[in-house]
Amino acid sequence: MSERFPDGFLWGGAIAANQAEGGYTEGGKGLGILDVMEVGSKDTPRRRTDGIEPGVHYPSHQGIDFFHTYRDDIALFAELGLKAFRTSINWTRIYPTGVEDEPNEAGLQFYDDVFDELLKHGITPVITLQHSDTPLYLSEQFGGWTNRILVDLFAKYARTVFERYRDKVKYWITINEINAINYVTWFGAAADDLTDQQKEQASYHLLLASAEAVRIGKQINPNFMIGGMLTDAYSYPYTCSPEDVLLSVQDKHRNIFFSDVMVRGYYPAYKIRELERGGILLATQPSDELILSEGVIEFLACSYYASHVSSTDADEMIQGNLLQNIAGKANPYLQQSDWGWQIDPLGLRISLNDFYDRYQIPLFVVENGLGAVDDTTHPDAIQDDYRIDYLRRHIDAVGDAIAIDGVEMIGYLAWGVIDIVSGTTGEMAKRYGLIHVDRDNDGHGSNARFKKKSFHWYRKAIDSNGRDLST
């Protein structure tokens, strides 16, 4: 009988630079958008301040201090048995404002050191070029991704890091959750408060930048595997009424439009019609068609946390959930996390099938996990059975997608494999880690690391190549 998970399956963990590194001005780093965003909560969006305000706590400034602790942390990842580790390069370490002609050598050296450390332990780096950390200067000076100049500046940055890490990194992801611009504009790395026209133009620029990066990367090293990434916003029709079903198709188009362009290399008809209806005219250049058609991705990566519901009846929306506009109505068949995200392992299998049916290219789950409040009374003995249960059921769903449905998968990366700052709220209390970090929402704590119960469970799962998921 063949293995449920193929040989070479990339079992791993993931974090992002801005949520972990800290060292926000060290090594010549410039400020990114996240460096002026304070902590929010489940119900309160993160506030972006006008520059750095005295007395305000900005969680990206210290993160979990990965900038200084990466060697010890990577040793822990090796002990955990990770085959792959995903992080991002912070653009502002390489080009502090984005417009410099020459890259910042100290920033380049930092990632050389991180990648060397991973390779020393036999861990494959999976590297995201842009994970919500557009240089602040580009946002303030040019309006972020609404401005075409960012495509060129991003291409310059991509070329620099592709050339530098040509022989160290094989797996690249261009833009984290490119469709997140639909929900949280700064998360999609654009400016705040976008009009529809600006949002569509920014989306167009993000897609062009992604395609341009693929073209550049493949010229520099044809063996690179370069993927694009979505936040998986799979949405069920709330009822079998044709109206709900049609709405679910339209909700799907809003998200999958991004992967349609990245995989197929052109804007799909439904999107062109939507833009026409909205009176939106994109500013384009003649060479763009070629860039999009040549810069197609080789695999589709996704983050998956929850499934969603499309309902034409607006009542009973999930309350107290920052991502209400993506989550929709509460699904009566599912439980919710402490942050109101609907837990749905089968939804992952369904959506992997959906992607694979549509594209027939390899898929890669590069983020999945449970953000929860841990009882930290005894930090060295955290019993996170709820997290194990979440991970086990989702890994099982990936295994079924591979073994039963024939979906081609590159790997599975547990999000926030070590506790980090939450992306949407900036809290530390929303923990995903298999490794506890002693740090609170205000940045207080010893910063010490402790293995949770889930650490030992995941090591066994990896060691057995997914055969043993028992607790």
Judged by CB, which is closer to ligand BG6: 18, or 104? Answer: 18
Q: Which parts of 27-142 fold into alpha helices (H)?
A: 66-80, 91-94, 105-120, 136-142
At 23 the three-state DSSP class reads coil
Place of tokens 């930092």: 110
Nearest approach, Cβ of residue 449 and ligand BG6 (Å): 19
Nearest approach, Cβ of residue 282 and ligand BG6 (Å): 26
Nearest approach, Cβ of residue 447 and ligand BG6 (Å): 19
Q: How far is CA 137 from CA 31, 99, 158, in A?
A: 8, 9, 18
**Closest to 67 (Cα-Cα) out of 124, 29, 120, 10:** 29
* Partner residues linked to 406 by β-bridges: none
CA 31 to CA 117: how far, in whole Å?
Answer: 26
Nearest approach, Cβ of residue 35 and ligand BG6 (Å): 15
Judged by CB, which is closer to ligand BG6: 42, or 156? Answer: 42
Nearest approach, Cβ of residue 433 and ligand BG6 (Å): 11
State the burial class of residue 71 (Cβ atoms within 10 Å of its Cβ: 0-12, 13-18, 19+).
exposed
CA 297 to CA 215: how far, in whole Å?
Answer: 9
Provide the 10 A C-beta neighbour count for residue 131: 28
Judged by CB, which is closer to ligand BG6: 16, or 31? Answer: 16
Residues in contact with ligand BG6 by CB under 6 A are: 16, 19, 176-177, 231, 303, 367, 371, 415, 422-425, 430
Judged by CB, which is closer to ligand BG6: 35, or 367? Answer: 367
Point out the residue whose Cβ comes nearest to ligand BG6: 423
Judged by CB, which is closer to ligand BG6: 160, or 321? Answer: 321
Tokens representing residue 415 in the block: 């999000």
Asked if 196 contacts 95 with a C-beta cutoff of 8 angstroms, the reply is no
**Closest to 178 (Cα-Cα) out of 142, 130, 222, 136:** 130
**Closest to 173 (Cα-Cα) out of 399, 341, 413:** 413
Active site residue 177: yes
Enclosing H/E stretch for 201? helix 196-220
Q: Which of 117, 177, 200, 427 is catalytic?
A: 177
Nearest approach, Cβ of residue 54 and ligand BG6 (Å): 26
CA 261 to CA 385: how far, in whole Å?
Answer: 40
Judged by CB, which is closer to ligand BG6: 103, or 371? Answer: 371
Place of tokens 């929306």: 317
Active site residue 100: no
Nearest approach, Cβ of residue 337 and ligand BG6 (Å): 9
Helix axes 196-220, 149-164, angle to 10 degrees: 30
Q: How far is CA 116 from CA 63, 78, 109, 197, 435, in A?
A: 22, 13, 10, 43, 22
Nearest approach, Cβ of residue 403 and ligand BG6 (Å): 27
Asked if 308 contacts 252 with a C-beta cutoff of 8 angstroms, the reply is no
Judged by CB, which is closer to ligand BG6: 203, or 231? Answer: 231
Q: Which of 21, 117, 212, 367 is catalytic?
A: 367
Judged by CB, which is closer to ligand BG6: 123, or 420? Answer: 420
CA 352 centroid distance within chain: 17
Place of tokens 């690249």: 172
Catalytic (active-site) positions: 177, 367
